[in-house]
Amino acid sequence: MKAAFEGIPNQDPASTAPLPSYPAPNGATPTPKPNGSATVARPINSKSQASSTGEVRLDVSNVYKIFSDDPKPALDMLYAGATKDEVFKKLGVTVGVKDASFQVRSGEIFVIMGLSGSGKSTMIRLLNRLIEPSAGKIVFDGRDLVTMSRKELIAVRRKDMSMVFQSFALMPHLTALDNAAFGLEIAGVPKPKRHEAAMEALKQVGLDQYHARYPREMSGGMQQRVGLARALANNPTIMLMDEAFSALDPLIRTEMQDELLRLQREHKRTIIFISHDLDEAMRIGDRIAIMEGGNIVQVGTPFEILRNPADDYVRSFFRNVDVSRVLRAGDVARFEEEKTVIRVPGVLQPALEQLTGSKNEYGYVRDHDNNYQGTVSRDSLERAITEEGQPRFVHAFLPDIDPVHAEQPLHDVMRTVASAECAVPVVDDENKFLGAISPATLLKTLNREK
């Protein structure tokens, strides 16, 4: 058992006109369908800790896409409870997206995944109206994109949204610098200013020294980095990435995933990423939305979906996943309930009394800013208290309990957890305490139902 100590001072230390709106029959508002999100308590996740409580950047509500010049008959059928197949059988029209609702938070990588034909690529093109929605709302920073005029929409695309496609789509006659600056050139940004922004974007992806090269002189991975730099050059509020790494070979794809995660750690952009690759989705996604037949089946963190799949379709995706190589330490770190958190005035006796009274053997010391300080035990506190002078918590810290980083795969921390005398503390890049992993927690995570 464990307790957490807080408040310890003086410690030694971390394109078109607005769309028509098609109401449900009799003017009723269509009832949003549950998205299947897991109901288990949200784990501490190093990647999504900030985004889980961050502001909503994009709010998608009851969005439909009917591939028909007149979507109203199909919408009426869907509102009345018809299925996608029933609509196609009766009207001969395809339902691309059906009643999709989800929110994307500031600073997170939100992955939309599904099998071919599930509607994921249609969904991302609806978000910036490359494809026009048939019904619903897409609210971006308080503005409904669906009702925007063409002029307003173009302004949003140029300033606030960037898109990275599977194909590199580089201009063969332009250098890397000019390719990266191409979007800014179209927007009318003067050459010196756009080159400055493009060079900074190339630097972010590690290609500033190759700025004078042409696409034919670069590898596939380098070309995709230029495509990524082009999306970064206008410093977008949100990035849309449609199967951005799917055309790359496995090794380069992994490198690009690493690059994206590195950029995310440094800049905390809001990213919507389309993928059909489960390993990729689990590796880079703070949260994942799984689509089937145009529907959002489930939204959740990788841990939530692994532990509590919404249905057999979702379960089949994850059946053969090696959890230890997908989940990170931060995904499964646990901390005690608030009632076990102790705030002590900088002396050891209250901490020892709390450990004894609550029958906790170990405690994790945190300062007022939630920085991890060290791990103590009843025995170490008792020894420190008997020392002469004015002992502090640092004198009671256990010497062999080192924290693990939240981004370490479970596979890499298994031996550490198994051999430690207590649950192993987990911290993030800034040494913030995220919780601890015990052998029991680790086994429970790994021994999920197949």
**Most confident listed range (56-70, 201-215, 359-373):** 56-70
Which three-class secondary structure state does DSSP give residue 213?
coil
Q: Per-residue pLDDT tens for 171-204? A: 889 999 999 988 888 878 899 998 999 998 898 8
Is the domain of 290 the same as that of 144? yes
Give the pLDDT score at 16: 38
Q: Give the residue from 268, 294, 328 where a domain finishes.
A: 328
**Which of 328, 359, 382 is where one domain is finished?**
328
CB 184 within 8 A of CB 202: no
User: Average model confidence (pLDDT) for the chain?
Assistant: 81
Helix or strand run (H / E) with residue 144 = strand 143-144
* Same domain assignment for residues 305 and 401: no
* 48 found inside a domain: no
Q: Could you tell me if 282 and 377 lie in one domain? A: no
Residue 6 pLDDT > 70: no
User: In this structure, what CATH number is given to the domain that contains residue 395?
Assistant: 3.10.580.10
CATH number for the domain spanning 113: value is 3.40.50.300
Do both 71 and 180 map to the same domain?
Answer: yes
If pLDDT is split at 50, 70 and 90, which confidence band does 299 have?
very high
pLDDT mean over 414-440:
90
Of 35-39, 321-325, 442-446, the one with minimum mean pLDDT is: 35-39
**Are 65 and 113 in the same domain?**
yes
Say if residue 335 is in the same domain as residue 378: yes
Structural domain ending residue among the three candidates 328, 348, 381: 328
| CA-CA-CA-CA torsion sign (58, 62, 65, 69) | negative
Same domain (yes/no): 289, 417: no
**Do 320 and 202 fall within a single domain?**
yes
Please check whether residue 330 is in contact with residue 426, taking contact to mean a CB–CB distance below 8 angstroms: yes
Q: Which domain holds residue 365?
A: 330-447
Q: What is the pLDDT of residue 95?
A: 94
Task: Establish if 391 belongs to a structural domain.
Answer: yes
| Cα(400)–Cα(402) distance, integer angstroms | 6
Asked, for residue 371, whether it belongs to a domain, the answer is yes
Classify residue 51: in a domain, yes or no: no
> Hey, is 51 helix, strand or coil?
helix
Write the pLDDT tens digit of every residue in 43-84: 333 444 434 456 889 999 999 999 999 999 999 999 999 999
DSSP codes of every residue in 329-355: HHHHBB---GGGEEE--S-SHHHHHHH
Most confident range, picked from 29-43, 123-137, 199-213: 123-137
Are residue 266 and residue 378 in the same domain, yes or no? no
Do 69 and 125 sit in the same domain of this protein?
yes
Give the C-alpha separation, 329 to 407, whole Å: 6
pLDDT (0 to 100) of residue 336: 58
User: Does some domain include residue 26?
Assistant: no
The pLDDT assigned to 344 comes to 56
pLDDT above 70 covers a percentage of the chain that reads: 84
Tens-digit pLDDT profile for residues 309-342: 888 888 887 777 777 777 888 888 876 554 344 5
- Band the pLDDT of 31: cuts 50, 70, 90: very low
Are 320 and 409 in the same domain? Answer: no
Say yes or no: 209 and 357 in one domain: no
Asked if residue 44 belongs to a domain, the reply is no
Q: Give the model's pLDDT for residue 235.
A: 81
* Contact assessment for residue 365 and residue 3, using Cβ atoms and an 8 Å cutoff: no
Tokens 């680790």 locate to 442
318 occurs within a structural domain: yes
Position 434 in a domain? yes
- pLDDT of 186 reads 80
Q: How many domains does the chain have?
A: 2
Amino acid at 328: R
